[in-house]
Amino acid sequence: MSHPLQVTFWGVRGSIPMPGADTQRWGGNSSCVEVRHGTAPPIVLDCGTGARSLGFKLVGEPGRQLELLFSHFHMDHVFGFPFFVPIYTPGYDVTITVPAFSEDEAREKLGRYLNGVYHPTRLRELPCSVSFRPIRSGRSFSTGPFEVRALSLNHPGGAMGYRIEAEGTSLAYITDTAPFARPGEGVAAGEEPAQGELRVIEFLRGCDVVIYDTMYDYGEYLEKMTWGHSYPEYALALTKVAEVSHLVLFHHLPDASDEDLDVLSEKWSAHAEPRVTVAREGQTLSVGQTSK
Ligand SMILES: [Zn+2]
Ligand SMILES: [Zn+2]
Protein backbone atom coordinates (compact mmCIF):
# COMPACT_ATOMS: atom_id res chain seq x y z
CA MET A 1 0.00 0.00 0.00
CA SER A 2 1.35 3.44 -0.88
CA HIS A 3 0.67 6.70 0.87
CA PRO A 4 0.33 10.26 -0.40
CA LEU A 5 2.67 12.99 0.81
CA GLN A 6 0.71 15.14 3.25
CA VAL A 7 1.97 18.72 3.18
CA THR A 8 0.68 21.13 5.83
CA PHE A 9 1.43 24.85 5.87
CA TRP A 10 2.01 26.16 9.41
CA GLY A 11 3.54 29.46 8.28
CA VAL A 12 3.40 31.03 4.82
CA ARG A 13 4.57 34.60 5.44
CA GLY A 14 7.96 36.02 4.46
CA SER A 15 10.38 38.29 6.35
CA ILE A 16 8.36 38.93 9.52
CA PRO A 17 5.29 37.36 11.13
CA MET A 18 2.21 39.50 10.55
CA PRO A 19 -0.58 38.74 13.02
CA GLY A 20 -3.62 40.99 12.81
CA ALA A 21 -6.98 41.64 11.28
CA ASP A 22 -5.61 41.79 7.72
CA THR A 23 -3.97 38.33 7.74
CA GLN A 24 -6.52 36.16 9.54
CA ARG A 25 -7.63 34.08 6.58
CA TRP A 26 -4.33 33.43 4.76
CA GLY A 27 -2.18 33.47 7.89
CA GLY A 28 0.45 35.66 9.52
CA ASN A 29 3.03 33.14 10.73
CA SER A 30 6.41 32.89 9.03
CA SER A 31 7.74 29.90 7.10
CA CYS A 32 7.12 26.40 8.43
CA VAL A 33 5.88 23.39 6.43
CA GLU A 34 5.24 19.84 7.65
CA VAL A 35 5.69 16.89 5.28
CA ARG A 36 4.36 13.46 6.22
CA HIS A 37 4.26 10.06 4.61
CA GLY A 38 2.17 7.43 6.35
CA THR A 39 3.29 6.98 9.93
CA ALA A 40 6.95 7.81 9.24
CA PRO A 41 8.61 10.53 11.34
CA PRO A 42 7.75 13.87 9.70
CA ILE A 43 9.99 16.30 7.87
CA VAL A 44 9.66 19.90 9.04
CA LEU A 45 10.80 22.56 6.56
CA ASP A 46 12.04 25.66 8.40
CA CYS A 47 11.09 26.81 11.85
CA GLY A 48 9.43 30.21 11.46
CA THR A 49 6.74 31.21 13.95
CA GLY A 50 4.37 28.63 12.46
CA ALA A 51 6.50 25.97 14.17
CA ARG A 52 5.04 26.78 17.57
CA SER A 53 1.59 25.37 16.79
CA LEU A 54 3.11 22.47 14.87
CA GLY A 55 5.24 21.55 17.88
CA PHE A 56 2.23 21.27 20.18
CA LYS A 57 0.49 19.04 17.65
CA LEU A 58 3.55 16.79 17.24
CA VAL A 59 4.06 16.12 20.96
CA GLY A 60 0.42 15.03 21.16
CA GLU A 61 1.14 12.25 18.67
CA PRO A 62 2.78 8.92 19.41
CA GLY A 63 6.04 9.45 17.44
CA ARG A 64 9.15 10.86 19.13
CA GLN A 65 11.32 11.48 16.10
CA LEU A 66 11.49 14.18 13.41
CA GLU A 67 13.67 15.65 10.70
CA LEU A 68 14.06 19.43 10.63
CA LEU A 69 15.47 20.97 7.45
CA PHE A 70 16.57 24.60 7.44
CA SER A 71 16.72 26.54 4.17
CA HIS A 72 18.86 29.18 5.90
CA PHE A 73 18.98 31.13 9.16
CA HIS A 74 17.33 34.44 8.37
CA MET A 75 15.16 35.17 11.38
CA ASP A 76 11.81 34.51 9.69
CA HIS A 77 12.93 30.88 9.24
CA VAL A 78 14.29 30.32 12.75
CA PHE A 79 12.10 32.49 15.06
CA GLY A 80 9.97 29.50 15.97
CA PHE A 81 12.76 27.09 16.88
CA PRO A 82 13.05 28.01 20.59
CA PHE A 83 9.24 27.80 20.82
CA PHE A 84 9.05 24.37 19.20
CA VAL A 85 8.06 22.11 22.07
CA PRO A 86 9.57 18.82 20.78
CA ILE A 87 13.04 20.22 21.55
CA TYR A 88 12.07 20.50 25.24
CA THR A 89 10.65 16.97 25.33
CA PRO A 90 12.97 14.32 26.79
CA GLY A 91 13.07 11.28 24.53
CA TYR A 92 12.48 13.29 21.38
CA ASP A 93 15.01 12.62 18.66
CA VAL A 94 15.53 15.64 16.37
CA THR A 95 17.84 15.56 13.36
CA ILE A 96 18.59 19.03 12.01
CA THR A 97 19.79 19.48 8.43
CA VAL A 98 21.68 22.71 7.85
CA PRO A 99 23.44 24.13 4.79
CA ALA A 100 27.01 23.76 6.07
CA PHE A 101 30.28 21.99 5.37
CA SER A 102 30.60 20.17 8.69
CA GLU A 103 28.60 19.05 11.69
CA ASP A 104 30.44 21.58 13.84
CA GLU A 105 29.60 24.41 11.46
CA ALA A 106 25.93 23.32 11.38
CA ARG A 107 25.75 23.27 15.18
CA GLU A 108 27.56 26.58 15.45
CA LYS A 109 25.18 28.31 13.00
CA LEU A 110 22.07 27.46 15.02
CA GLY A 111 23.98 27.89 18.27
CA ARG A 112 24.58 31.56 17.48
CA TYR A 113 20.85 32.13 17.94
CA LEU A 114 20.47 29.85 20.97
CA ASN A 115 23.37 31.09 23.05
CA GLY A 116 21.56 32.82 25.89
CA VAL A 117 21.71 36.29 24.28
CA TYR A 118 18.81 36.29 21.79
CA HIS A 119 16.81 33.72 23.71
CA PRO A 120 17.31 32.19 27.18
CA THR A 121 17.43 28.66 25.76
CA ARG A 122 20.92 27.34 25.04
CA LEU A 123 21.30 24.74 22.34
CA ARG A 124 23.66 22.61 24.43
CA GLU A 125 21.16 22.41 27.32
CA LEU A 126 18.23 20.96 25.38
CA PRO A 127 16.79 17.80 26.97
CA CYS A 128 15.99 16.14 23.64
CA SER A 129 18.49 14.31 21.48
CA VAL A 130 19.75 16.69 18.76
CA SER A 131 21.95 15.66 15.90
CA PHE A 132 23.15 17.75 12.98
CA ARG A 133 23.42 16.81 9.34
CA PRO A 134 25.41 19.32 7.27
CA ILE A 135 24.40 19.46 3.63
CA ARG A 136 25.87 21.03 0.53
CA SER A 137 24.28 21.83 -2.81
CA GLY A 138 23.97 18.78 -5.06
CA ARG A 139 24.08 16.31 -2.15
CA SER A 140 21.31 13.98 -1.04
CA PHE A 141 20.36 11.72 1.85
CA SER A 142 17.71 9.18 2.76
CA THR A 143 15.64 9.11 5.91
CA GLY A 144 12.74 6.73 6.48
CA PRO A 145 10.70 6.63 3.24
CA PHE A 146 12.14 9.98 2.08
CA GLU A 147 14.91 10.72 -0.38
CA VAL A 148 16.05 14.34 -0.01
CA ARG A 149 18.20 16.37 -2.40
CA ALA A 150 19.59 19.87 -1.88
CA LEU A 151 20.24 22.74 -4.28
CA SER A 152 21.69 26.16 -3.48
CA LEU A 153 19.44 29.13 -4.29
CA ASN A 154 19.97 32.78 -5.20
CA HIS A 155 19.67 34.63 -1.89
CA PRO A 156 21.90 37.01 0.11
CA GLY A 157 23.99 34.84 2.43
CA GLY A 158 22.74 31.71 0.65
CA ALA A 159 19.70 29.48 1.04
CA MET A 160 19.10 25.81 0.25
CA GLY A 161 16.18 24.37 -1.69
CA TYR A 162 15.08 20.78 -1.04
CA ARG A 163 13.44 18.13 -3.17
CA ILE A 164 11.73 15.36 -1.22
CA GLU A 165 10.55 12.10 -2.79
CA ALA A 166 8.73 9.15 -1.30
CA GLU A 167 7.32 6.22 -3.25
CA GLY A 168 7.51 8.13 -6.53
CA THR A 169 5.76 11.27 -5.24
CA SER A 170 7.84 14.45 -5.21
CA LEU A 171 7.75 17.84 -3.57
CA ALA A 172 10.21 20.74 -3.74
CA TYR A 173 10.60 23.60 -1.28
CA ILE A 174 12.27 26.57 -2.98
CA THR A 175 12.55 29.58 -0.69
CA ASP A 176 14.16 32.14 -0.38
CA THR A 177 15.39 32.88 -3.87
CA ALA A 178 15.62 35.53 -6.57
CA PRO A 179 15.34 34.53 -10.23
CA PHE A 180 18.30 32.72 -11.80
CA ALA A 181 18.37 34.99 -14.87
CA ARG A 182 18.38 38.73 -15.40
CA PRO A 183 15.13 40.51 -16.34
CA GLY A 184 14.47 40.14 -20.05
CA GLU A 185 16.47 36.92 -20.27
CA GLY A 186 15.73 33.23 -19.75
CA VAL A 187 12.44 31.42 -19.24
CA ALA A 188 10.45 34.38 -17.92
CA ALA A 189 11.24 36.26 -21.15
CA GLY A 190 10.00 33.28 -23.17
CA GLU A 191 13.54 32.42 -24.23
CA GLU A 192 15.76 29.37 -23.75
CA PRO A 193 16.73 28.85 -20.10
CA ALA A 194 19.66 30.96 -18.98
CA GLN A 195 22.73 29.08 -17.73
CA GLY A 196 21.76 29.61 -14.09
CA GLU A 197 18.26 28.27 -14.71
CA LEU A 198 19.26 24.94 -16.19
CA ARG A 199 20.34 23.29 -12.94
CA VAL A 200 17.15 24.48 -11.18
CA ILE A 201 14.96 23.15 -13.98
CA GLU A 202 16.71 19.78 -13.75
CA PHE A 203 16.26 19.81 -9.97
CA LEU A 204 12.52 20.48 -10.26
CA ARG A 205 11.95 18.26 -13.31
CA GLY A 206 8.63 16.40 -13.09
CA CYS A 207 7.87 17.39 -9.47
CA ASP A 208 4.28 16.87 -8.35
CA VAL A 209 4.34 19.99 -6.18
CA VAL A 210 6.76 22.92 -5.97
CA ILE A 211 6.47 25.44 -3.14
CA TYR A 212 8.16 28.61 -4.41
CA ASP A 213 9.12 32.01 -3.00
CA THR A 214 6.97 34.58 -4.81
CA MET A 215 7.11 37.39 -2.29
CA TYR A 216 7.17 40.19 -4.86
CA ASP A 217 5.29 41.20 -7.93
CA TYR A 218 7.40 41.97 -10.98
CA GLY A 219 7.57 45.72 -10.27
CA GLU A 220 8.74 45.18 -6.72
CA TYR A 221 11.28 42.61 -7.88
CA LEU A 222 12.80 45.17 -10.27
CA GLU A 223 13.20 47.59 -7.36
CA LYS A 224 14.71 44.94 -5.03
CA MET A 225 16.58 42.62 -7.33
CA THR A 226 19.40 41.97 -4.83
CA TRP A 227 17.07 41.13 -1.91
CA GLY A 228 16.72 37.53 -2.97
CA HIS A 229 13.02 36.93 -3.72
CA SER A 230 10.96 36.04 -6.78
CA TYR A 231 7.59 36.82 -8.33
CA PRO A 232 4.78 34.54 -9.54
CA GLU A 233 5.34 34.84 -13.30
CA TYR A 234 8.94 33.78 -12.83
CA ALA A 235 8.10 30.75 -10.70
CA LEU A 236 5.44 29.83 -13.22
CA ALA A 237 7.78 30.06 -16.23
CA LEU A 238 10.43 27.99 -14.47
CA THR A 239 8.09 25.27 -13.21
CA LYS A 240 6.34 25.05 -16.58
CA VAL A 241 9.61 24.28 -18.36
CA ALA A 242 10.40 21.76 -15.60
CA GLU A 243 7.02 20.06 -16.22
CA VAL A 244 5.84 20.52 -12.66
CA SER A 245 2.19 19.62 -11.96
CA HIS A 246 1.34 22.07 -9.18
CA LEU A 247 3.00 25.35 -8.17
CA VAL A 248 2.30 26.76 -4.70
CA LEU A 249 3.02 30.47 -4.23
CA PHE A 250 4.71 30.97 -0.85
CA HIS A 251 6.62 33.39 1.47
CA HIS A 252 4.02 36.13 1.11
CA LEU A 253 4.92 39.78 1.47
CA PRO A 254 4.33 41.08 5.03
CA ASP A 255 2.08 43.79 3.58
CA ALA A 256 -0.05 41.38 1.55
CA SER A 257 -3.51 41.50 3.13
CA ASP A 258 -6.14 38.77 2.92
CA GLU A 259 -7.77 40.78 0.12
CA ASP A 260 -4.46 41.00 -1.78
CA LEU A 261 -3.99 37.23 -1.50
CA ASP A 262 -7.61 36.67 -2.58
CA VAL A 263 -6.79 38.67 -5.72
CA LEU A 264 -3.57 36.70 -6.29
CA SER A 265 -5.38 33.41 -5.83
CA GLU A 266 -8.17 34.42 -8.19
CA LYS A 267 -5.70 35.64 -10.79
CA TRP A 268 -4.07 32.21 -11.12
CA SER A 269 -7.04 30.00 -10.31
CA ALA A 270 -7.71 28.99 -13.92
CA HIS A 271 -4.09 28.24 -14.76
CA ALA A 272 -3.17 24.70 -15.75
CA GLU A 273 0.26 23.18 -16.43
CA PRO A 274 1.17 23.84 -13.78
CA ARG A 275 -1.86 24.32 -11.61
CA VAL A 276 -1.22 27.34 -9.37
CA THR A 277 -2.45 27.88 -5.83
CA VAL A 278 -1.51 30.27 -3.03
CA ALA A 279 -0.20 28.78 0.22
CA ARG A 280 -2.62 29.32 3.09
CA GLU A 281 -1.76 28.73 6.73
CA GLY A 282 -3.56 25.65 8.06
CA GLN A 283 -4.01 24.08 4.63
CA THR A 284 -3.02 20.46 3.96
CA LEU A 285 -2.25 19.19 0.46
CA SER A 286 -2.44 15.51 -0.26
CA VAL A 287 0.08 14.79 -3.01
CA GLY A 288 0.05 11.55 -4.98
CA GLN A 289 -2.42 8.72 -5.14
CA THR A 290 -3.26 6.17 -2.54
CA SER A 291 -3.57 2.63 -3.83
CA LYS A 292 -4.16 -0.68 -2.20
ZN1 LIG B 1 12.48 34.38 4.35
ZN1 LIG C 1 16.02 34.88 3.69
> In the chain, where are the structural domains located?
5-286
Cα-to-centroid distance, 179 and ligand 2 (Å):
14
Contact at 8 Å (CB) between 214 and 232? yes
Cα-to-centroid distance, 271 and ligand 2 (Å):
28
User: What is the phi/psi pair of residue 69, to 5°?
Assistant: -115, 120
Query: What's the whole-model pTM score?
Result: 0.97
Mean pLDDT of 173-191: 97
Q: Which ligand neighbours the alpha carbon of 79 most closely? A: 1
The model's confidence at residue 240, banded by pLDDT at 50, 70 and 90, is very high
pLDDT at 2: 82
10: left (phi over 0), alpha (psi -120 to 50) or beta: alpha
Encode pLDDT of 183-210 as tens digits. 999 999 999 999 999 999 999 999 999 9
Cα-to-centroid distance, 159 and ligand 2 (Å):
7
pLDDT at 1: 63
Question: Given CA atoms 7, 166, 151, 114 in this order, what sign does their dihedral have?
Answer: positive
Contact at 8 Å (CB) between 17 and 257? no
Q: Which ligand neighbours the alpha carbon of 17 most closely? A: 1
Cα-to-centroid distance, 62 and ligand 1 (Å):
31
Domain 5-286, CATH homologous superfamily name and number: Ribonuclease Z/Hydroxyacylglutathione hydrolase-like (3.60.15.10)
Q: Which ligand neighbours the alpha carbon of 31 most closely? A: 1
The model's confidence at residue 291, banded by pLDDT at 50, 70 and 90, is very low
Cα-to-centroid distance, 169 and ligand 2 (Å):
27
